[in-house]
Structures are given as C-alpha cells and as structure tokens.
Amino acid sequence: MCGIAGFYGTEDMPLLKKMTNSLVHRGPDDYGYYSDKIVGLGNRRLSIIDLSNGKQPISNENGTIWVVYNGEIYNFLKLKWELEKKGHIFKTHSDTETIVHAYEQYGENCFDLFEGMFAIALWDTSKKNLYLVRDPVGIKPLFYILQNNKLFFASEIKAILQNDEIKREVDLNAAHEFLNFRFIPFEGTLFKGIKKLLPGHFIKISENGVKIVKYWDLKVKETNYDFSYYEKNMSKLLEESVRSHLISDVPIGVYLSGGIDSSTITYYASKFSSHKIKTFCMGFNEDNDEFKHAQEMASKLNVDHRNIIISDNFLEELPKLIWYADTPKRNLYPYYIAKEASKHVKVVLSGLGSDELFAGYYHKYLYALNNDQKVILSKEQFDLLISKIKNSSDDLSFAELGQVLSSLLKQNKKADFYLLSKSLDKIFPEEYSDIYGKTLKNFTWSNLTSKYQQFFKGNNDVLTQMLKADFKVKMVDDFLFVDDVTSMANSLESRVPFLNKTLINFAFSIPHSLKINGGVGKYLLKKVMREKIGLNSINRPKQGFGPTNFETYISEVRDLAQQKLIDGVLVKKGMINQDYIKKILSSPPSPKLTRKYNLIWNMLCFEVWHNLYIDNGVYKEMNVSTTNI
C-alpha cells in the first residue's frame, strides 16, 4: 500500500519530490523516485509484503520498464509462478515486480489478469508509453490533469496541486452534484480540470496523444440453477476471497460491527489466519452504538476485540479530515476507528461492498413497491407525498414511499426513482430557486439524472439496475473513497474481500429472488452464514453511523454555520442565497429540520474546503497550507 505521484511531458525532480512527499501519510516507511526527460514517477511506501526488498519504483532486468503502484495484487504468487515458468527472473518477493513481468509477457492485456486493488503507473521506456491503471472496482483512487501537453497524476489531489502552474478553480457542475449528493460521481472533482480515472480503465500516454481504454466492465447475466448451486458457490467464493486477502507480512485486523457483513469477514479471517485476529468497533457511547453486538460476535469467534468510543469533537476536527480527503466530505467518521486500529495493525479488512452485491439497501423500498404496483397517484396526491418527504422523511410510511416510487416507475422515470429511493438527504428540484444563487441558477435536476440514465436501459429488472448504479458510482465515489482516505490518513491499509472480481460476477448472476425474498434483503448471504455466525447477526437491521443526539448536533452545526456560512464564500460567490441560510438558522430546532440541517452541514464542509484549497487557507494544527503541503 502506497501513495504514487508523477507526470508525463516534463523533467522536474524538485516538483516530483514535492508531489511525492505530500503523500507521506500514505507511505511513511520508504520513498523512491524515477525520472528521465519525459516521465517522473514517485512513491511513498507502506510496507506490507516483502518488507526489506519491495522498494519502489521497481524495474525489469534491463531497466526498460518502471513501475510505481498503490495497492495489493492478491493473486501475484500464482502469476509469479506462471511467469517464472515462461523464463522471467524475479529479484524480489513483492507483488509490485509481478506487474513488471506481467506487462513484459502480456502487454496491455496484463491489467485484466490482476485480482486486487490498485492504481498503477507503468513507464515503457522503449515504446515511450506511460500507462495509468485503476483497478476494476475503483478501490484505490487515481487523479490526473492534462495541461499544456503535460499530464500530472497522483493518489491524492493535494499532490497534483504542488504544481503552481495549475490554477485552482471550482468546477460548478461538480459543486451542483456535491450539494445534492454529498459526493461527486463519475470522473469529476471539485477542481476544474482535475479528473478521476474511472474504475476498470487505463490511460495510455505517448507521443501520439492520450488514449483512455476500458479494460474491464461489470457483467450482468442472471442465471437459473437450483438453490444448492448458489449456496455452495457463495460459501466457496467467500472463503477463497477472504483467504487471499490475508496475504501479508504484517498483522491484520477486521472492522467488526456485529452485523452480517463484518461478521462474515471476521468468521473467515479468524478461521484461516495464522495469528489471532484483532477486531475493532467504534461508536459515540450512545443508544444506537454497536458495541454489544460486536462484543458478542467477537466472543463467539474468539478474536481479540476492542470497542472504541469517539470522544473527539468532530466539527472541530473537520478541517483536518477535509484536508486529508481533498474534498468537502462530512461522513469521515471512519478516520477515528482507523486511527485506533493503526496502533495495533497495519492492515484491516472491512465488509464494504456486500450491500451493493446482495441488495442490502433496497429491500424495504422494493417490498413497498411490490405491495403498491397497482397504485396510480393523481398529480395532487404525488405532490402531497413529495412535500411530506421534503419536510420530514421520518414519518413517511413504506406504503407512502412505495406509492411515490411506483408512480415514478409508471412514468418511466427510473433515474428519478433511483435517486429518490437512494437518499432523502438532498435538494429537491422545486427548492433550487430558493437555495441557489445566480452562479448556480442554470443547474437543474436533469443535470443530475442525465448521467444515471445509462444504468436504466435494457431488460434487467429495476433492482439489478439500481444495484449496478450503486456498484459503479455511489460505492466507488462515496464509500470506497471515504474508506481509502480515512485509512491512509492513518497509514493503514484497508482491504475489501467482498469486492473480488469472481465474487462480483457471481453476485450479479444471482436471481432477484435470492437477493430479496419476502421483504428480506441479502437473502442468500444470510442463508449461507446463518449456521456459521448465528441468528442475531443475520436478523439485525442495518445501522448507519453517526451521532444520534439531535440537540447536540443541531446546536453545533448552527453555531458553526452562523460563523462561517451567512457571509461565507458560497454566499459571496453567488452559489447559495443568504436568505435561505438565515431562514434555516432562525427556525426553532426540530427533528423535521434534519434534512435541511444536513444540507447546511454539506455547505459548511464546502466552506471549509474552499478556504483550505481555493483561498490557500492554512490548516494551523498541521502547519501546512495547500500551497506547500
């Protein structure tokens, strides 16, 4: 696990060092550089495999191919064995060197052979080709910018910003997406010109220009076998994936909440690990904490468990966390569990990805839909329910929500249906005129839904289409992104065994009825794990994570918003109407304002981010600024 940075089309060792060293938190153990007149490659290393010999950059025998990369190739031993049979000579036991020889043997086709998480920069000196490659799922990030016939890339945007020639401007379309979604989907970022390389893609840069190639895509093909086939294969693939994710020369832990996803990973990890697994659970010492469930599962599986109470003031810590994320995220709580886990292990496994594969989010919506397919709402009824959603999602019944979603489907508005069912924490189309200022006044709801239309074409059922959208966007740009930045901020490698390519393809072949059955989501996974981990974890409802004390939350957000937002950047630059902010902050606190306070919180995060990254503000505790990070 590492941080990588570099460029194509220039020679600048001082800049390469600045870019690479800004990623020291991703790799505190070692560093290395390669530079010639065309390319610069930099690496900060977190030593996990072949601790003494895995230094990067690494080359082939004659120095014609150079690689830096961030991640793990879990099948590297198998690939190494096959490459050695073909005559390749290895000088290390690291997975990085496998990338070098696999490219020598198979060329561009090698990228699809790798099972793992990775962001790779590979320089072929003989062909003068630079490849930037991101893993199929998007577990590891890779950002880049093309400017003046030069390309700059890095694991984090802050490294790219070490180049003073790059102008820092807000991408207004990305701002619109962020304010609505709480994250930025697809290839965009809040920085104009800086993009994310999409999962399963590589960039080829040469004297002939820049070419972006998709080398892997999700295959969705439902099969129809008897139940025992799916049960047997699910169990087999889970075991194989977790076992492969245990490869390491340092201790491994697991995030354990006591729910089915983390308990599944812990079960297999404890069964096949060569040492006693350490597990970690976090909470705010409140009623909805998962400590009891986690402790029960830890005792059942005989693992070394720790419950972590978060006592830090999250809002005070917000600038530091946003600095690590390079983007105004507010769901960065995993930073705290990663901080504690990093004191005990260098690698941790998590249950991320299970919901997107096996339908963990949608069972209640689909259950409501299945009971309301014949409902036809008048425009007045539809508007009334939408108004109820806008004013308070808490008292909306499943039946009422089912009526709204069913109506959207009958209108063939599947993208609207998806974005509404996905989250009620958003700006509604009718509110834009009240919330947006002149800078954003031309952005509409259709700007958001248009990008999602691609997932709702073809003959797949609505559940499969939603899961595909989640898998390719929300999971990548929100959940996996947060997991990466919060773990790497603490020099901790986070692995996600559910997101194994073979397991993914299997999951998207499972019939609808084995994902949601009788209103129960993740039906097949629960059946497979029932005897292994017990009924309590199987039947527990999914919990989100965050403080539940509404009064404290409202008080803290209000105070900070009064200081930062009313006369802040969003108002001054005409993005948000000042009157809207004043109206919300002057209203008596009420749980019915939760959605609107979440919008205010998003705006606060944007304000902090803008101060750090666009206005060149200083994050004093770390004594750094975005001009000299």
Catalogue the active-site residues.
Answer: 2
Provide the token pair at 490.
Answer: 């603490």
Asked if residue 160 lies in contact with residue 108, where contact means CB atoms within 8 angstroms, the answer is no
d(CA 10, CA 37): 6
Provide the token pair at 218.
Answer: 């999700």
d(CA 166, CA 507): 42
User: Residue 86's closest CA among 67, 111, 106, 72?
Assistant: 106
Q: Which residue blocks in 459-534 are alpha helix, DSSP H?
A: 462-469, 481-488, 501-507, 523-533
Provide the token pair at 472.
Answer: 């390719």
Sign of CA dihedral 480, 481, 486, 489: positive
Asked if residue 553 lies in contact with residue 547, where contact means CB atoms within 8 angstroms, the answer is yes
Looking at the DSSP bridge assignments, the partners of residue 210 are: 205
Structure-token match 């996905």, residue found: 422
User: Residue 193's closest CA among 225, 219, 221, 160?
Assistant: 160
Q: Which residue blocks in 288-424 are alpha helix, DSSP H?
A: 291-301, 314-325, 334-341, 354-358, 363-370, 379-391, 398-410, 414-422
One-letter amino acid of 422: K
Helix (H) or strand (E) holding 66: strand 65-73
d(CA 616, CA 166): 13
The distance of Cα 160 from the centroid of its chain, to the nearest Å, equals 20
Provide the token pair at 133.
Answer: 């490659």
Q: Please, which residues have CB within 8 angstroms of residue 81's CB and are 6 or more apart in sequence?
A: none
Phi, psi of 73, deg, nearest 5: -105, 105
Helix (H) or strand (E) holding 116: strand 116-124
